Amino acid sequence: MRRKASLVLLACAVFCAALSPLLRWYAFPRLARIPANQYQDMVLEARGATLLDYGTMRAKKVSKVTIVQTLKGDVEAAKKIGKTAGRPVVVWDSLSYVQGPDGKMVSKVPERYIFDAHSQDPVHATGEMVDGDPVTRDGIEFKWPFLTQKRDYEYFDAQTRTTSPIHYEGTRTFRGLPVYYFEQTIPWTRVPMPKTMPVQGITPETVAKTGTTRWYSTVRRFWVEPVTGAPVYGEELHKEELRGGTLLGGRAKVTAFAGHVKMREDYIAHTVALVKQNRTLVLVLTSYAPWSLLGLGVLLLVLSLVLEARARSPRGPAPRQPKESAPVSV
């Protein structure tokens, strides 16, 4: 009976030991994926910013500038591109909508971002664009990979349409979460005018005829939760200028926008709560369940060996039977 129990325990130990790496290296890449139908929005604000008044072509201080960023997954496009690419992909249609303190539109820039659902590596396909211009992304954008490492990453900048390193600057704590802090500096770079301008009649083509150009610089900062790879907070020291040409009336340059852009508090709280929930799910697949199964497998193996040893141990000598006394004859 002990030997049968020992074999059952041994089989269970082997099963647990085999399931542990399968969860980590097989199930995790297939289960931890960005959903193709994901929708999310984010509101950022730059209080006390400088903004260009296109009516007077003069920069002025304003109470705040609001940036609304939305990401919407295109499921049908993801299925189509995924079949061609031979892997699950996500297609995000994003929009960065900037409005002044009066609620009027300052600019809006659409993007289509196509990437691997698990690794977040860019996937190149027809339709990948920024503000209608075809692009070929290198590096990440919006989100870091699951199990983010303590190293620099290549990050795509939508304004310049280029990729450059975003540097790992250390580990910090943000709202009770351990996070990795990343920072990227984009030096002054000439960038295209937005296709949609805030004043009717002013287009990138009409601005180009005046000889005026648009320049941009930013310091981009992210606090990234490393298990999920999701930024829990982000901000930018953002600057834009118009330079040269007849549009500025002889001036060398004018500030189009300058401000410290930060996530709004209610969106920070929502993001942190969501990331904490997703962090637990990822840890179950990468740490909690694999290590628990491995520990259980070792425990079952020990119990199996103990029972096997007891089953093989020799039994003690049989008790001595008393001798029968010989009959007494009279």
What spatial distance separates the first Cα and last Cα of the chain, rounded to whole Å?
54
If you ran DSSP here, which 8-state letter would residue 87 be given? Answer: S
Between strands 50-53 and 162-174, the pairing is unpaired
Confidence at residue 320, expressed as pLDDT on a 0 to 100 scale: 61
pLDDT at 323 over 60: no
pLDDT at 85 over 80: yes
168 - beta bridge partners?
A: 182
Residue 189 neighbours by CB under 8 Å, 6+ apart: 159, 160, 162, 215, 216, 217
pLDDT at 116 over 90: yes
Count the neighbouring beta carbons within 10 Å of the beta carbon of residue 127: 12
Q: CA–CA separation, 330 vs 322, rounded Å?
A: 24
Render pLDDT for 176-194 as a digit per residue (tens, 0 to 9): 999 999 999 999 999 999 9
Q: CA–CA separation, 239 vs 255, rounded Å?
A: 8
Tokens read off for 266 = 């209610």
Q: Diameter of the chain by CA atoms?
A: 151
Count the neighbouring beta carbons within 10 Å of the beta carbon of residue 68: 15
pLDDT at 330 over 50: no
